[in-house]
Structure 1
Amino acid sequence: MKNKSHLYGILFCMVLQWAMDSPGCFASINPDSLKSSLHEKISDTTDIKTYFLISETFSTAYKYDSALFYLNKASELSQKLGFTQYEYSLYEKYSKLFTQSGNYSLALQYQFKMLKLLDDQTLVEYDTLELEKKYASLYTDLGTTYFHNENPSKCLAYYQKANNLVKSLSKRYPTHSLDNELLILQINIGAAYIGILEYDKALRYFKEAFEMNRKVKNQKYNGVIFNNMGIIYKENNACDDAFPYYKNALAIRDELKDTSGMAQVLNNLGNCYILKGEYGKAITSFKTAIEYSRRSKSIKSEMYAASSLSQAYEDLKNYADALTMHKLYKQLHDSIINSEEIRKTASLELQYIYEKQIKEKELEKEILLARKERKSLIYLIIAGVFLFSFLIVILLNRNQRIKIKQAKLVQKHLELEQQNLMLERQNLKLDLELRNKELATHVMYLLNKNEFIASITEKLLTIKPLLLPENKAWVQEIIREMKSNIDNTVWNEFEVRFQQVHEDFYIKLGESYPNLTPNETKLCAFMRLNMTTKDISAITFQSVKSIQVARARLRKKMGITRDDNLVTVLQQL
């Protein structure tokens, strides 16, 4: 913070260069004469410009509340006329007003609104030169506002953005001279680096700025550059290197009659003499700084010189003069504190007025909108009631006729459905009975066939011992082929018939009990027809005991308890 005083001069120089309007041109304008030019009955875009001028006039006179009032008037008229051409200028003037009054957070809000407008314009505008110039100016303003808001890193970031953009414009549009703007940004970036104590980078920027100023030839900038280079060398404890730069800066500002700038340089020069132990030269510098501070009415520079003189006299044990300078410092410090308090109060008052006006405008909008909505709602309700009543009458009449027709149709439909259901049930029942009868008949046929074949087989077995040895083998082969052929044929015929009657039995059985073997599946099919163990034994040529064992094993595999009937479970699938 000890170097912050010299930064204000640099940044103020930059703001003057980039500003679109010069405040001095409004000093002699009488607000009353501008007010008389406003149209009483018919408002047009000319009145927006007039409100701008009145606001600028009051802002120059430090009457920020009046300036804000007329800016709000311009904003209201723009919205009323639906005229958006001045929206960017309006935000810019709000930003500058809040910056001047010390409301930096509000200034930032409007600067970012300006940035969004530029981003939107980038999509539709073709004049990229003017648009990019606005971007550069806005980035510079953002850097300045962040500086005042004590955020040096963001201050530096926006200055560098502006610098890069202006460099790009200078290369692409060589006929548009931007040397002055580049020089100012170069100086301010160097000052920002001082603010974050990166002195090497700051020195590099100031040296480049000095070279750039050879083309611009503005001695005022050289005064700023030399003063800051002296500060850098002093901060690096190289006072011998700092003295030539301070003396050059002092000579330039003396030539320009810049008494405020001379006071700054003399204070910095005095600090260097103190560090060197040359108290006589330091006291002379501080006394001269007080003289120039009083001429330029720079209270901060005078206060700094008085404080430094008090410390110097105290170091020399000249306590009387040290006390005198301390009293002067205290008097100036209290004056600055009072001024800052007044400024803070005015700033808070302006912020209060601004927020109050914003809320009042929002409330007025809400009231107007509520009134419009209420009227629209009333008309809508009335129209809706009439329309609804009319539709209700029509719909009731139509609905009554439809109900009568539907009742008749439903009655007929129900009667037909009942008849169809009865017929389908009868057909299904008859079909199932017929298929079951056919299946039962076929099973009986198979049983009789098997019994007949079994009878023949037993007879062949009976006469087998009586046959010649060469015939016994032949008879045995016949018996074996008959049994093998009968088993396959019986089961295949049975399975075809069974699936015709009970189509999905095997599917459901497989889903419920996927681990059953083919023989167990056959056994389930026989039991589904409620066949006895004896019948199953006859049709499969297995003993009754084998069938009983298979049934017990099947019951266990299916997880059926003794209380459940196996045949019933299978018939429910």
Structure 2
Amino acid sequence: MDRGLLFFIICILVFKFSIGQNTNEIDSLERMIIVNPDDELQVDLLLQLSSEYGIDDFQKSLDYAHNAIELSTRRNDIKGQILSNIHIAKIYQKKGGIKEAFDYVIEARNLAKEKNYTNEYAQAIYLMANIYVEIGEYEKTAELCFEALKIFEELQEKQGICDVLGMIGGNYYMQGELDEAEKYLQQSIDLSKSINYKKGLGKGLTNISAVYNMRDETEKAIEYLYVGCRLFQETGEKVREGVAYCNIALYYLKLNEVDSAFKYTNLSMQLNELEPSNRNMVLTHIVRARSFLQIEDTAMFLSNMKHALEIADENGLKSLSYNAASNLLDFYSSIEDYDMAFHYGRLQYALKDSLDRNRSLSRLSQLQMLYQIEKEEQERKLNEQRKEFISGIIILTLIIGLILLVFIVFRYRVNAHLSKLKNEKLENELYAQQKDLAANVMSLMKKNEMLSEINEKLIKIRKELKSEDAKKKIANIAFEIENNTQDKSWEEFEIRFKQVHTDFYTKLMDLYPGLTSNEIRLCAFLKLNLTTKEISSITGQSPRSLEVARYRLRKKLNISSSSTNLTTLINNI
């Protein structure tokens, strides 16, 4: 059997096996979604399914991702919503839908920032940087990359750091700053090695190989690509591996090592059969065609270059069509086949004109999109500032209110303390006055007792006297002593009593306006909790007459029940 045919059959069988494996994996994921009730796991499974379909079935990939958003929104899974939006943005980015990619990644970024999901916020702005670099906005790319890098470093998220360092290096490469590009790419490679991050390491190695190629260090570039290819084999990234083989072939062609160039274009084409990539297929045919031209096999050159042009035209890859047409123009011009040269020259001109027109329209569209994004960003920042201002006013109001509350409480406590001190002072003064009043009452009682004794002695002396005149004088003295004692004692007592109980008489007369002066005097004595005997010693009245007076007072005060205490009633006034 012909070796070429055998090789072709093997490739087809391997390709079908690969497709079968992919279909089985999709079926397995779909079954897991049906049987698994865990909403959080279902969101992850939906995103995995979306990734499995990739850009080969754009609509299905998008549908599963939208289902993930709906599910995470329904269960209020903020993280799920953010990751689903990031995933959809990546789908649109791969498909070339830059505006849609921006819409979803900005939604993810805003939600992550609002809900304080720091890691997911960094992922979102890293993807934004990825999109900006595609449209040549290098300054914005750098700004977002360094912001993401700072967050990943704070979180010690090393894979994220690797990816961002690689992106910064790539950004410098696109601007022709090769030293800076090498520095950041090497940092990404070193860190990827230290954490065994194979995908990040593979990307870093292939990117830094481009830097060395630009410096004409082609052999070093090839060494890095070799290692990158092995890593892509381990991680199953066949498209990246195929692109790397194509680049190795191109670098060998640059070194005039045609056999090696053929070897790696063959490997690239084999991988492209397993996992098709139209862009890589066109590039491989162009490199293969130039390799044939190097060995002056013009037939194979034309076959491969025309095939590359055909695939590029069918898939709308105008820049690659232009590249293939230019190669064909140069070839036909070199062999002086001016009819064919004119044909491909006209095609090249039409493609260039179309590319320039599309580039202008694309740039205009990008500028409009960037203007709209910038406008929305300004509006978002204004809204945030407005919210922060309102929050600041609310916080300031709360602080002022708190200060006022503290001041009021402090003042209340100070006033309460002063009032307490004032009351204590008044109580002390009242206590002193009561003590003084009690002392005065005791003094009056002793004085009256002494005067009563004197009076009794005078009465005894009077009885013993024989002279009527002397008896009369002694009787007058005794009478004066008795009358003056009662009047002066009461006056002195009343002055002291009013100092202590200032409004007692007023309240008493308001309640019982019909009381006589003697009844008022008795009430004052009872207010001081004086017994009948003590009142008798002050007033000179007999206990019996005082009991009668108490009885009459009870009637005037409408005390009918024997259980009601007269002294208690008066003390409550």
What is the TM-score when the length of structure 1 is the normalising length? 0.51
Q: Which amino acid aligns with 1:138?
A: V
Provide the C-alpha distance between the structure 2 equivalents of 1:68 and 1:206, rounded to a whole number of angstroms.
32
Residue 128 of structure 2 is matched in structure 1 by: 94
Provide the C-alpha distance between the structure 1 equivalents of 2:264 and 2:84, rounded to a whole number of angstroms.
47
Contact 2:106 2:124 (C-alpha < 8 Å) held by counterparts: no
Which stretch of structure 1 is more off in the superposition, 290-299 or 50-59? 50-59
Provide the C-alpha distance between the structure 2 equivalents of 1:191 and 1:39, rounded to a whole number of angstroms.
43
C-alpha deviations, 1:42-97, integer Å up to 9, x for none? 99666555655665566566554454445444444444445545322332343344
Indicate how the Cα distance of structure 1 residues 136 and 26 shifts in structure 2: closer, same or farther if over 3 A, else same.
Answer: farther
Residue 556 of structure 1 is matched in structure 2 by: none
Indicate how the Cα distance of structure 1 residues 321 and 254 shifts in structure 2: closer, same or farther if over 3 A, else same.
Answer: farther
Contact 2:246 2:284 (C-alpha < 8 Å) held by counterparts: yes
C-alpha deviations, 1:464-520, integer Å up to 9, x for none? xxxxxxxxxxxxxxxxxxxxxxxxxxxxxxxxxxxxxxxxxxxxxxxxxxxxxxxxx
Q: Which amino acid aligns with 1:351?
A: L
Contact 1:309 1:325 (C-alpha < 8 Å) held by counterparts: yes
Residue 502 of structure 1 is matched in structure 2 by: none
Classify the secondary structure of the residue corresponding to 1:197.
coil
1:299 to 312, 318, 342: 318
Provide the C-alpha distance between the structure 2 equivalents of 1:333 and 1:75, rounded to a whole number of angstroms.
38
Q: Which amino acid aligns with 1:357?
A: E
Identity %: 18
2:193 to 141, 145, 167: 167
Residue 139 of structure 1 is matched in structure 2 by: 165
Provide the C-alpha distance between the structure 1 equivalents of 2:241 and 2:100, rounded to a whole number of angstroms.
39
Residue 350 of structure 2 is matched in structure 1 by: 331
Contact 1:26 1:60 (C-alpha < 8 Å) held by counterparts: no
Contact 2:159 2:200 (C-alpha < 8 Å) held by counterparts: no
Please list, as runs of the form range in 1=range in 2, the aligned pairs for 1:348-497 lying within 5 A after superposition: 348-370=367-389
Q: Does 1:116 align with 2:158?
A: no
1:265 to 284, 288, 295: 284
C-alpha deviations, 1:174-200, integer Å up to 9, x for none? xxxx55554444333323322332112
> Residue 115 of structure 1: CA displacement?
0.7
Provide the C-alpha distance between the structure 2 equivalents of 1:367 and 1:213, rounded to a whole number of angstroms.
49
Q: Does 1:103 align with 2:122?
A: no
Q: Does 1:204 align with 2:217?
A: no
Classify the secondary structure of the residue corresponding to 1:86.
helix
1:158 to 176, 184, 190: 184
Length, aligned pairs only: 358
Let me know the Cα RMSD of the aligned residues.
Answer: 4.5
Indicate how the Cα distance of structure 1 residues 291 and 64 shifts in structure 2: closer, same or farther if over 3 A, else same.
Answer: closer
Contact 1:279 1:312 (C-alpha < 8 Å) held by counterparts: no
Indicate how the Cα distance of structure 1 residues 315 and 111 shifts in structure 2: closer, same or farther if over 3 A, else same.
Answer: same
Q: Does 1:190 align with 2:230?
A: no
Residue 173 of structure 1 is matched in structure 2 by: none
Provide the C-alpha distance between the structure 2 equivalents of 1:319 and 1:83, rounded to a whole number of angstroms.
64
> Residue 246 of structure 1: CA displacement?
3.6
Contact 1:231 1:242 (C-alpha < 8 Å) held by counterparts: yes
Q: Which amino acid aligns with 1:262?
A: M
Indicate how the Cα distance of structure 1 residues 368 and 216 shifts in structure 2: closer, same or farther if over 3 A, else same.
Answer: closer
Provide the C-alpha distance between the structure 2 equivalents of 1:248 and 1:182, rounded to a whole number of angstroms.
21
Which ranges of structure 1 fall in alignment gaps of 5 or more residues?
A: 1-18, 123-130, 171-177, 392-573
Q: Which amino acid aligns with 2:187?
A: K
Please list, as runs of the form range in 1=range in 2, the aligned pairs for 1:524-563 lying within 5 A after superposition: none
Q: Which amino acid aligns with 2:181?
A: C
Indicate how the Cα distance of structure 1 residues 84 and 237 shifts in structure 2: closer, same or farther if over 3 A, else same.
Answer: closer
> Residue 220 of structure 1: CA displacement?
5.3
Indicate how the Cα distance of structure 1 residues 364 and 242 shifts in structure 2: closer, same or farther if over 3 A, else same.
Answer: closer
Classify the secondary structure of the residue corresponding to 1:114.
helix
Classify the secondary structure of the residue corresponding to 1:113.
helix
Contact 2:92 2:100 (C-alpha < 8 Å) held by counterparts: yes
Provide the C-alpha distance between the structure 2 equivalents of 1:249 and 1:58, rounded to a whole number of angstroms.
26
Residue 320 of structure 1 is matched in structure 2 by: 339
Contact 2:153 2:161 (C-alpha < 8 Å) held by counterparts: no
Indicate how the Cα distance of structure 1 residues 202 and 121 shifts in structure 2: closer, same or farther if over 3 A, else same.
Answer: same
Contact 2:239 2:277 (C-alpha < 8 Å) held by counterparts: no
1:231 to 240, 243, 250: 250
Contact 1:229 1:242 (C-alpha < 8 Å) held by counterparts: yes
Residue 448 of structure 1 is matched in structure 2 by: none
> Residue 291 of structure 1: CA displacement?
2.4
Indicate how the Cα distance of structure 1 residues 293 and 90 shifts in structure 2: closer, same or farther if over 3 A, else same.
Answer: closer
Contact 1:142 1:155 (C-alpha < 8 Å) held by counterparts: yes
Provide the C-alpha distance between the structure 1 equivalents of 2:183 and 2:135, rounded to a whole number of angstroms.
24
Indicate how the Cα distance of structure 1 residues 70 and 215 shifts in structure 2: closer, same or farther if over 3 A, else same.
Answer: closer
Q: Which amino acid aligns with 1:363?
A: L
Q: Which amino acid aligns with 2:194?
A: S
> Residue 306 of structure 1: CA displacement?
0.9
Classify the secondary structure of the residue corresponding to 2:195.
helix
> Residue 344 of structure 1: CA displacement?
1.9
C-alpha deviations, 1:255-282, integer Å up to 9, x for none? 6555532321222233344445544443
Contact 2:118 2:151 (C-alpha < 8 Å) held by counterparts: no
C-alpha deviations, 1:274-300, integer Å up to 9, x for none? 445544443233222222323444322
Contact 1:264 1:289 (C-alpha < 8 Å) held by counterparts: yes
Contact 2:132 2:140 (C-alpha < 8 Å) held by counterparts: yes
Classify the secondary structure of the residue corresponding to 1:360.
helix
Contact 2:229 2:244 (C-alpha < 8 Å) held by counterparts: yes
Classify the secondary structure of the residue corresponding to 2:147.
helix
> Residue 162 of structure 1: CA displacement?
1.9
Residue 426 of structure 2 is matched in structure 1 by: none
> Residue 361 of structure 1: CA displacement?
2.6
Residue 283 of structure 1 is matched in structure 2 by: 302
What is the TM-score when the length of structure 2 is the normalising length? 0.51
Q: Which amino acid aligns with 1:139?
A: L
Contact 2:163 2:200 (C-alpha < 8 Å) held by counterparts: no
Contact 2:225 2:248 (C-alpha < 8 Å) held by counterparts: yes
Provide the C-alpha distance between the structure 1 equivalents of 2:120 and 2:99, rounded to a whole number of angstroms.
21
> Residue 239 of structure 1: CA displacement?
3.8
Provide the C-alpha distance between the structure 2 equivalents of 1:108 and 1:53, rounded to a whole number of angstroms.
22
Provide the C-alpha distance between the structure 1 equivalents of 2:112 and 2:231, rounded to a whole number of angstroms.
43
Contact 2:202 2:232 (C-alpha < 8 Å) held by counterparts: yes
C-alpha deviations, 1:336-360, integer Å up to 9, x for none? 2233223322322232122222222
Which stretch of structure 1 is more off in the superposition, 148-157 or 58-67? 58-67
